Structure 1
Amino acid sequence: MSHPVESHPAFPILIGDIGGTNARFWILTDAAADPLQFPNVRTAEHSGIEAALAVDVFSKTTIKPRSAILAIAGPIEGDDIPLTNCDWVIRPKSLIAELGFEDVIVINDFEAQALAIATLPEDARETVGSLSSAPLASRVVLGPGTGLGVAGLLRARDTWFPIPGEGGHVDLGPRSDRDFQVFPFIEQIEGRISAEQILCGRGLVNLYRAVCRADGVEPAFTDPADITAQALSGVNKQASETLTLFVTYLGRVAGDMALVMMAKGGVYLAGGISQKIVPALKRPEFRAAFEDKAPHSTLMRHIPTFVVTHPQAALAGLASYARAPQSFGLATAGRRWRR
């Protein structure tokens, strides 16, 4: 059965990456043009996206976008789309009625990250391990940040298909003797420990407290950045072990996701935390945990891993889609509104 080809969003196109704290916007005037970029918007400073766009985007340019493609940190169900970690509610019908858009597409933020790794240049990634090239094959992106985002990128029929999901909520359990000492002190949610309970900013603090309790010492730090800084400097024993365990568990989960997707094109670590802990990721523990997937350890040794270093990778991914939507099998049913 043949399927109708969706019409391409009309230029100029506003693209946006909207998280719990910051929103970032570009405007593409046409498929060949460099993006018109705007300063980061603090979501707490505006009542909603309409006010933010009016003050921080449209007041700074005479270009009037006809279409919008937005990536948001939150589930997309219905015409009112709340963000998970801020008070904004995205209402595409309001954007059309109040701001004059003809076409609005809303996708998950990690779908945008998946779009980014489809076309990410080598100078926008840092190699972790000995493999520096990435075959044109299916990929996975993980991002420890406010939570743990995961998305797949399937390569089939010369097309990239972004696969959203909730892989950050898979179970994560102990394996080593030290794990069994630490895990009883990790805070659970309804009787289970998911990967996100450890592999995110608050998860790093959760893990640090568990390490301290296992050692019988009082935690000295409550901020993820402080724990990371102490760990990278080697000053604090518990912080150092926390970061070592963090990258070990991240390696395990990244390896699991690689197996699920058969991601021979590589596994990409996105987000600010990954960029800040590159030195720790380049130590042996991450790749050792990633490859320790008997009976498939040989397969895992041939899958490359990278840290995404592009400062605005999600916007770059959205721009790639906006310029050539025919190259991506992005499902927009229920996520596209037109005048």
Structure 2
Amino acid sequence: MADSMKTDKLPFPILIGDIGGTNARFSVLTDADAEPIPFPNIRTADYPTIDAAIQNVVLASTSVRPRSAILAVAAPVDGDEIDLTNCDWVVRPKGMIAELGFDDVLVVNDFEAQALAVAALPRDFLDKLGRGGEPQLASRVVLGPGTGLGVAGLVHAREIWFPVPGEGGHVDVGPRSDRDFEVFPHLKRIEGRVSAEEILSGRGVINIYQAVCKADGVQPSFSDPADVTARGLDGSNPQAVETLSLFATYLGRVAGDMALIFMARGGVYLAGGISQKIIPALKKPEFRAAFEDKAPHSELLSTIPTFVVTHPQAALAGLASFARAPSAYGIATDGRRWLR
């Protein structure tokens, strides 16, 4: 394993991978000036291992042989075997070098990749929510409700962007409004606590919906988050409508907390599939009102812009930006880069 803290360039061609709990996305960057070669998105459950997925989806369908790989994974990167948090895959970089022919493998947290993306994404891929000023060249925060809730910071210093990965999706969330106190007793908990991820994720949509149904004394009609969001958006089910309203409110509260922690004058960015699907709900007043409702700092929060990231492959775009110009980013590779 390499000991260097430098962000040395990896040799091209580079395989870029974004490995989530449910889906995996790959592309190959042949050189610093090329557009990435895309490959079909896959479901992690359809392949027994990440190595099998790379072999079948990438290596079997192109004559380009990647010399290195940059993989963003939904898990803490610790040691030679990296267990993904929400799926059965285990990333073994030494095995990839031995079996798949890579010379160099770098593994980062998936929300580091999302943070890299918001440093470089064109404005065309950002949909603004509510008011707030223009983003400054300053700290930023990314939140991504999906299979789980990813959170990362992005700090700007010495003309370099430093992504700050963490487990911010597991902070506690508590009730505030009268309605919260009716709904919260019915929420499923982890060891007695309501964590942000338990309500701000796919399963979180169902968690809120079932709690709302219990509070209202009605039987739940849906068990799939996609059904709840669809009925909430079209207004055809009152509990689903309220679920989306509460989801937007709770997401606004957590996003505001993270903005305060990082003093994110560069903006707060909502990534992930759920955010893109519920943009109409996030553009209603609840999200932004909850985001700004942070006395004694409500005025500060009112100046910070909030966006939904609409790029279909934002993490891959972020990793590609890093692969092209690693010196523009402060990514420590110690303990996360393996060489042949």
TM-score by length of 1: 0.97
- TM-superposed CA distance for 1:46, in Å, is 2.2
**Relative contact order, higher structure (CA 8 A, sep 6+):** 2
Return the alpha-carbon distance in structure 1 between the equivalents of residues 325 and 180 of structure 2: 46
- TM-superposed CA distance for 1:58, in Å, is 1.2
Q: Does 1:216 align with 2:221?
A: no
2:323 aligned residue: 322
- TM-superposed CA distance for 1:314, in Å, is 0.5
1:68 aligned residue: 69
Return the alpha-carbon distance in structure 2 between the equivalents of residues 321 and 36 of structure 1: 16
- TM-superposed CA distance for 1:132, in Å, is 6.6
- Could you tell me whether the CA contact under 8 Å between 2:133 and 2:304 is conserved in 1? no
* Residue segments in structure 2 that go unaligned for 5+ positions in a row: none
Q: Which amino acid aligns with 2:67?
A: R
Return the alpha-carbon distance in structure 2 between the equivalents of residues 159 and 68 of structure 1: 23
- Could you tell me whether the CA contact under 8 Å between 2:129 and 2:305 is conserved in 1? yes
1:139 aligned residue: 140
2:285 aligned residue: 284
4+ residue runs over 4 A deviation:
none
**Residues 99-118 of structure 1 aligned to structure 2 (within 5 Å):** 99-118=100-119
Return the alpha-carbon distance in structure 2 between the equivalents of residues 95 and 63 of structure 1: 17
Give the total of aligned pairs.
337
Between 1:233-242 and 1:315-324, the stretch displaced more is 233-242
Return the alpha-carbon distance in structure 1 between the equivalents of residues 55 and 298 of structure 2: 53
- Could you tell me whether the CA contact under 8 Å between 2:267 and 2:307 is conserved in 1? yes
Return the alpha-carbon distance in structure 1 between the equivalents of residues 133 and 300 of structure 2: 16
- Could you tell me whether the CA contact under 8 Å between 2:5 and 2:334 is conserved in 1? no
Secondary structure of the structure 2 residue equivalent to 1:57: helix
2:256 aligned residue: 255
- Could you tell me whether the CA contact under 8 Å between 2:5 and 2:332 is conserved in 1? no
Return the alpha-carbon distance in structure 1 between the equivalents of residues 43 and 188 of structure 2: 31
- Change over 3 Å in CA distance of 1:130–1:26 after alignment to 2: same
Q: Which amino acid aligns with 1:274?
A: S
- TM-superposed CA distance for 1:203, in Å, is 0.8
Return the alpha-carbon distance in structure 2 between the equivalents of residues 93 and 136 of structure 1: 38
- TM-superposed CA distance for 1:4, in Å, is 6.9
Q: Does 1:90 align with 2:91?
A: yes
1:229 aligned residue: 230
- Change over 3 Å in CA distance of 1:231–1:6 after alignment to 2: closer
- TM-superposed CA distance for 1:338, in Å, is 0.6
1:336 aligned residue: 337
Q: Does 1:188 align with 2:193?
A: no
Return the alpha-carbon distance in structure 2 between the equivalents of residues 49 and 59 of structure 1: 14
Return the alpha-carbon distance in structure 1 between the equivalents of residues 283 and 12 of structure 2: 42
- TM-superposed CA distance for 1:162, in Å, is 0.4
Q: Which amino acid aligns with 2:271?
A: A
Give percent identity, aligned residues only.
Answer: 69
Return the alpha-carbon distance in structure 2 between the equivalents of residues 85 and 188 of structure 1: 17
1:184-238 deviation line (CA, Å, top 9, x unaligned): 1111111111111111111111111111111111111111111111111111111
Return the alpha-carbon distance in structure 2 between the equivalents of residues 132 and 308 of structure 1: 17
Return the alpha-carbon distance in structure 1 between the equivalents of residues 150 and 7 of structure 2: 28
Q: Which amino acid aligns with 1:100?
A: G
Q: Which amino acid aligns with 2:102?
A: F
1:313 aligned residue: 314
Return the alpha-carbon distance in structure 2 between the equivalents of residues 5 and 307 of structure 1: 32
Secondary structure of the structure 2 residue equivalent to 1:298: helix
Between 1:57-66 and 1:40-49, the stretch displaced more is 40-49
Q: Which amino acid aligns with 2:9?
A: H
- Change over 3 Å in CA distance of 1:45–1:5 after alignment to 2: closer
- Change over 3 Å in CA distance of 1:147–1:335 after alignment to 2: same
Return the alpha-carbon distance in structure 2 between the equivalents of residues 38 and 257 of structure 1: 34
Return the alpha-carbon distance in structure 1 between the equivalents of residues 299 and 184 of structure 2: 29
Q: Which amino acid aligns with 1:261?
A: F
Q: Which amino acid aligns with 2:258?
A: M
- TM-superposed CA distance for 1:283, in Å, is 0.5
Between 1:16-25 and 1:239-248, the stretch displaced more is 16-25
Secondary structure of the structure 1 residue equivalent to 2:152: strand
Q: Which amino acid aligns with 2:77?
A: I
Between 1:274-283 and 1:37-46, the stretch displaced more is 37-46
Q: Which amino acid aligns with 2:186?
A: F
* Residue segments in structure 1 that go unaligned for 5+ positions in a row: none
- Change over 3 Å in CA distance of 1:151–1:125 after alignment to 2: same
Q: Which amino acid aligns with 1:126?
A: D
Return the alpha-carbon distance in structure 1 between the equivalents of residues 202 and 297 of structure 2: 31
**Residues 111-126 of structure 1 aligned to structure 2 (within 5 Å):** 111-126=112-127
